[in-house]
Structure 1
Amino acid sequence: MWGPGAARAWARRAVFFDQWAGLLDAGVPLVGALRHLSQHPPLPQAGRFLARAIEHIQSGATLTEALQASQFPLDPLERAVLQAGERSGRLVACLRLLADEARQKAALNREVWSGLAYPLFLLHFAVLVLALPEWVRTGDAGAYAGRVLSVLVPLHGAAWWILWWSSRERRGSAAAVAEALLDATPLLGSGRRALVMSRLAGGLKLLLEAGVSVLEAWPLAARACGSARLHWAVEEWWPRWQQGETPGETLRASARVPSLFADQYATGELTGRLDEVLGRLQHYYAEEARAQLKAFASWLPRLVYVSVACWIGWQVVQFWSAYFGQLEELLGP
């Protein structure tokens, strides 16, 4: 989830996993805990999904099977962590891990969108103001509205299309186009790439702490990181890993991930402290993403100011050109 409302959604998800873990930790049976959550759901529409899951569990299904059959909204990473917790008997600990991960995502989303709020407001304000003189001259409100919408509708459409495609598990050409458009944007593109690496490191760390093997964790984390190209790369590397090559060796020989990530990962792989290294990488790239997106948010208003100043200058030039042209017509040759 990535968008203006994602911070609240991730925060609710953290509350849900926390409440679930707290109920189980207090000795409430699994079905009783799910029934309580279905009656007082922290997530919108979670009650009916959990009610169906309870029916499947009572019919003999496992927790992960029941949640999948009930179509409870879980991403592949969350599903894998829950399955690992159920198999290992560490369900409470895995739920706590999911809650912590959701809180981190909520905080990052909140920080990014709060930083972009003013520049986005200024951009909309500039579009409204730049078209205002024509309305004042002609008095045609319909023409003014059409001119404003002709700018805002394509901008909103492109922004929401990119957000929609980048926040889901997309693997087609449209996903690659959305990713390429974001990466080509100065500062925003580098911030997005850092965010992808932070998600990848965080997903791997979460899955390893839950007891998932390294080779099982990589495809799941790659699907959840928000990069179609990285997902394709992991699918390409997978046969080599099955033949005995380690992910660290593959990353060092590839240009598809930053050299810092590849070197640190290989070091953690060799020393047996991969979870600690992944935690540091997650923190480093999250800070890098914050810095790049903050720089983008600070430069966007300046770009708007320059655009408005250039437009005003162009209007002044047009006015005086028309004025002197009328004088020449009146004075004659």
Structure 2
Amino acid sequence: MSKLSDARLADWLDQVGQGLESGLDASASVSFANDLPKGGSSKLQNLLESGEGWVDSLEKAGVPLRFSEFAILEASAQAGRLPSAMKKIADGRRELRKVKIRIRLALAYPIFLVHFAALVFSLSYLLDGDTRGFVFSVGVVVVPVWFLFSLGWTVATYWPQKLKALGRKLPLFSSYRVNWDAGTLCDVLSSCLAAGMEISKAWEIALVAADSPKLHRMGDAVLRSIASGQKASLGIKETSQCAPKGFPQLYIGGEETGQLEQNLKKAAERYFSAAKGKLLLASIFYPKILLLGIFGYVAYKIILFFSDYFQQLMDINA
């Protein structure tokens, strides 16, 4: 299947979710939604009609969902929450699309400015008849910009895990990842518990969905506690430095009061909301940093230009 844009995938998920919510069966819900490219809808309907589960059918039909999104759908399907899970994923995709557009628009001006500055400050070579010097002067600025852009696009396309690892080390993006992974963990745990799943199995699925090294360390301690007949909260206490902010308190409180599922559901909403806020800040902060760097480059070239100009005047007067 050709790649679906975030907007088209979000609309499709919303439409399928609405079909399920209105009482349509799985196959009818897919036919109710817009067609997926390259016969994806027909393939998905055939798989569902043959008795395949939602997650297996979506994977085999080539619907471009992330691993964590598949895990959320699997847990939600077992808990009878598939329509709301589809809506949640759709909302997340729309938010991501907004951020991508915001970043592109924010980067457009500084990228134009650096190209314009490279041309203007290299014109002196062209006026002196030095075409080779002009091309070199422009290339020294423009080529690294395009190289970095190409490198970023290649990594994002072919090695998304490396990009995710890098994101965990950058300011704001790291906070986004922490909150998003925590939200995924809570959301999947809540859905698994609602489906009546065994607690150890619920944790295993949720940890795979969250895909966070820190959460995996906490999860290993939790699974050891459960295996030894202890409460999951004992493992969380042992590795509290790996737990997201506020998670130990809400989990322990939910265990003690019997409201663990509700606590996790509310926590997921809070973590996802915080993640969206951090992503918004990152989409503003990093283009501004780039713009400041370009202004610094332009200021340096202006100072250099006037310095050379006054030096030539002094040489003439001498």
Report the TM-score, using the length of structure 2 for normalisation. Answer: 0.76
Paired with 2:49 and 2:262, the residues of 1 have a C-alpha distance of 40
How much has 1:331 moved relative to structure 2?
A: 5.4
Alignment match, 1:95:
82
Alignment match, 2:282:
296
Aligned partner (choices 219, 243, 267) of residue 257 of structure 1: 243
Unpaired runs of at least 5, structure 2: none
Letter matched to residue 50 of structure 1: L
How much has 1:329 moved relative to structure 2?
A: 4.5
Deviation digits for residues 65-107 of structure 1 (CA, Å, limit 9, x no counterpart): 973894554623323443x25xxxxxxx433233332233234
The answer to whether structure 1 residue 148 and structure 2 residue 134 are counterparts is: no
* Kept in 1: contact 2:226–2:232 (CA 8 A): yes
The answer to whether structure 1 residue 161 and structure 2 residue 147 are counterparts is: no
* Kept in 2: contact 1:205–1:279 (CA 8 A): yes
Alignment match, 2:168:
183
Aligned partner (choices 309, 319, 331) of residue 295 of structure 2: 309
Given the superposition, is the C-alpha separation of residues 187 and 275 from structure 1 closer, same or farther in structure 2, using an over 3 Å criterion? Answer: same
Deviation digits for residues 83-141 of structure 1 (CA, Å, limit 9, x no counterpart): x25xxxxxxx4332333322332343245335434323334333333322245444569
The structure 1 segments of at least 4 consecutive aligned residues displaced by more than 6 Å after TM superposition are none
Letter matched to residue 152 of structure 1: W
Residue correspondence of structure 1 range 114-129 to structure 2 within 5 A: 114-129=101-116
Letter matched to residue 256 of structure 1: C
SS of the equivalent of 1:185 reads: coil
How much has 1:151 moved relative to structure 2?
A: 1.0
How much has 1:35 moved relative to structure 2?
A: 6.3
Given the superposition, is the C-alpha separation of residues 256 and 38 from structure 1 closer, same or farther in structure 2, using an over 3 Å criterion? Answer: same
Given the superposition, is the C-alpha separation of residues 129 and 187 from structure 1 closer, same or farther in structure 2, using an over 3 Å criterion? Answer: farther
Letter matched to residue 121 of structure 1: A
Paired with 2:157 and 2:184, the residues of 1 have a C-alpha distance of 16
Higher mean C-alpha deviation, range 265-274 or range 136-145: 136-145
Deviation digits for residues 296-316 of structure 1 (CA, Å, limit 9, x no counterpart): 333335324422331222112
SS of the equivalent of 1:131 reads: helix
Paired with 2:86 and 2:301, the residues of 1 have a C-alpha distance of 55
SS of the equivalent of 2:246 reads: helix
Letter matched to residue 67 of structure 1: S
Aligned partner (choices 259, 267, 281) of residue 273 of structure 1: 259
SS of the equivalent of 1:184 reads: coil
Higher mean C-alpha deviation, range 131-140 or range 180-189: 131-140
Alignment match, 1:196:
181
The answer to whether structure 1 residue 37 and structure 2 residue 30 are counterparts is: yes
Paired with 1:107 and 1:71, the residues of 2 have a C-alpha distance of 22
Give aligned-pair identity as a percent.
20
Letter matched to residue 40 of structure 2: A
Unpaired runs of at least 5, structure 1: 86-92, 167-174
Letter matched to residue 287 of structure 1: S
Paired with 2:167 and 2:287, the residues of 1 have a C-alpha distance of 19
Aligned partner (choices 102, 124, 130) of residue 117 of structure 2: 130
Paired with 1:211 and 1:322, the residues of 2 have a C-alpha distance of 77
Given the superposition, is the C-alpha separation of residues 281 and 50 from structure 1 closer, same or farther in structure 2, using an over 3 Å criterion? Answer: same
How much has 1:272 moved relative to structure 2?
A: 1.2
Residue correspondence of structure 1 range 5-154 to structure 2 within 5 A: 5-22=5-22, 25=23, 33-34=26-27, 37=30, 42-44=35-37, 45-53=39-47, 56-57=50-51, 63=53, 67=57, 70=60, 73=63, 75-82=70-77, 84=78, 93-134=80-121, 136-138=123-125, 144=138, 147-154=141-148
Root mean square deviation, CA, Å: 3.6
